[in-house]
Amino acid sequence: MIKKIALLGLVVVIVFVAAGYSFLYYNGMIPRYDYETVPPKLPIFTRPTVLIFNKTNGFIHRDAIPAGDAMLKELADQLGWDVFVTNNAAVHNVEDLKRFNMVVWNNTSGDVLTESQRADFKAWLEQGGGWIGLHAAGGDPSYQWDWYVDELIGAQFIGHTMDPQFQDADVHTADKEEPLTSHLASPWNIKQEEWYAFDKNPRDKGYQILLTIDEQSYITVGETSFGFVDNMDGEHPLVWRHHIGEGKALYSSIGHTAATYGVAQYRGLIKKAMIWAAE
C-alpha cells in the first residue's frame, strides 16, 4: 500500500513538473537556440518593401506579435508598400536585405541570428538601411550580441512593471517641434500597458529621445516581485531614434498588449517612423 501511494505521488510530481516545463517552454520562458540557415524564397517586389521579422527564441508575445504584424501590414498598404513577413532569420543575408527599404523587428526575443547573419544585417544597416524595433526587440535581459545592445538599442533592458504588470500611464513628447510626435498630446495617457525600464538613458549616447514616461502617473516599486526593476533615475525614455553609420534606427518599448496596436496615436507614430526609416 505504501509503495502504491509513493508511486502515485511520484507520478503526480512528474506530471506537475512536465506541465510546468511545457507551460514555460510554450511561452518562451525557457530560451531556445533555433537558427535558420536556408532563407525563405522571396516574391518579386514591385514597390518599396518592408521586411517584418518576428522570430522568437525567448519570451513569446502571443497576442502582440499578430497584432503588430497586422498593424504594420495595414500601414504599409496605406503607404503603397509591399510587405514580407517571416520568422526565418536567414533572410538576413547580403542579397536578400538589398531588396528591402526597411526592416521591422516585431517583438523578437532571445538570440535570433547566426554570426554571419549578424554581420550581414549590421553591414546593411550601417550602409544605409532602416530599422525599427518594437517592444520585446529591446526587452531581453540576456542578449548575446553586444553591438545590438550597446549600439543598435543603446541601453540594456532591466525590467518592467509587475505590481501590477499592466497600468495606465502618462507619456510625454520630448520635443514639441518633432514631426514624428507632433500628432500626440502631451501628456498622452496610454491605457493598460507594460512599462519597460533600462540601465541607462540613450540620450547620454546622443540618441534622440522621442517619448518619455511620467513615473508619477503609475505605480513603481523599484524591484518588483520577479526581481525586475520598473523605474529609472531621472528621465525615463520609452521611444528613441538615432543614425548608425549611414543607416537609421528607431526603438519603441511600447507594445506588449494587442490593444495598443489598434490605438490611432500609436499607429500614427509607427507610420511616421516607417517613412523616416525608409527615406
CB atoms within 10 A of CB 119: 15
- Please indicate, yes or no, whether residues 26 and 91 belong to a single structural domain of this protein: no
pLDDT at site 22? 44
pLDDT at site 211? 99
- Please indicate, yes or no, whether residues 158 and 223 belong to a single structural domain of this protein: yes
**Which domain, by its residues, includes 10?**
1-30
Find the farthest-apart pair of alpha carbons in the chain and give their distance in angstroms, rounded. Answer: 78
pLDDT at site 271? 98
pLDDT at site 27? 54
Confidence of residue 20 (pLDDT cuts 50, 70, 90): very low
Is 85 domain-assigned?
yes
For residue 185, is pLDDT > 90? Answer: yes
More confident residue, 204 or 2: 204
CATH code: domain of residue 181: 3.40.50.880
Which of 11-15, 86-90, 91-95, 118-122 is predicted least confidently? 11-15
- Please indicate, yes or no, whether residues 17 and 113 belong to a single structural domain of this protein: no
Per-residue pLDDT tens over the stretch 216-242: 999 999 999 889 999 999 999 999 999
Q: Omega of the bond prior to 187 within 30 degrees of 0, cis?
A: yes
- Please indicate, yes or no, whether residues 9 and 84 belong to a single structural domain of this protein: no
Is 38 domain-assigned?
no
Rounded mean pLDDT, 54-61: 97
Q: Torsions phi, psi of 23, nearest 5?
A: -65, -45
- Please indicate, yes or no, whether residues 114 and 203 belong to a single structural domain of this protein: yes
Is 192 domain-assigned?
yes
- Please indicate, yes or no, whether residues 175 and 236 belong to a single structural domain of this protein: yes
pLDDT at site 5? 61
Is 99 domain-assigned?
yes
- Please indicate, yes or no, whether residues 15 and 53 belong to a single structural domain of this protein: no
Confidence of residue 4 (pLDDT cuts 50, 70, 90): low
Is 36 domain-assigned?
no
Nearest CA among 140, 264, 239, 255 for reference residue 194: 255
Rounded mean pLDDT, 78-97: 98
- Please indicate, yes or no, whether residues 11 and 64 belong to a single structural domain of this protein: no
pLDDT at site 226? 86
Is 37 domain-assigned?
no
Looking at the structure of the chain, the number of domains it has is 2
- Please indicate, yes or no, whether residues 20 and 53 belong to a single structural domain of this protein: no
- Please indicate, yes or no, whether residues 58 and 133 belong to a single structural domain of this protein: yes
- Please indicate, yes or no, whether residues 138 and 23 belong to a single structural domain of this protein: no
Rounded mean pLDDT, 29-52: 94
Confidence of residue 1 (pLDDT cuts 50, 70, 90): low
pTM for the full model?
Answer: 0.93
Confidence of residue 15 (pLDDT cuts 50, 70, 90): very low
- Please indicate, yes or no, whether residues 213 and 182 belong to a single structural domain of this protein: yes
Check if the beta carbon of residue 181 is closer than 8 Å to that of residue 240. no
Q: How far apart are CA 268 and CA 164, in angstroms?
A: 28
Is 96 domain-assigned?
yes
Is 35 domain-assigned?
no
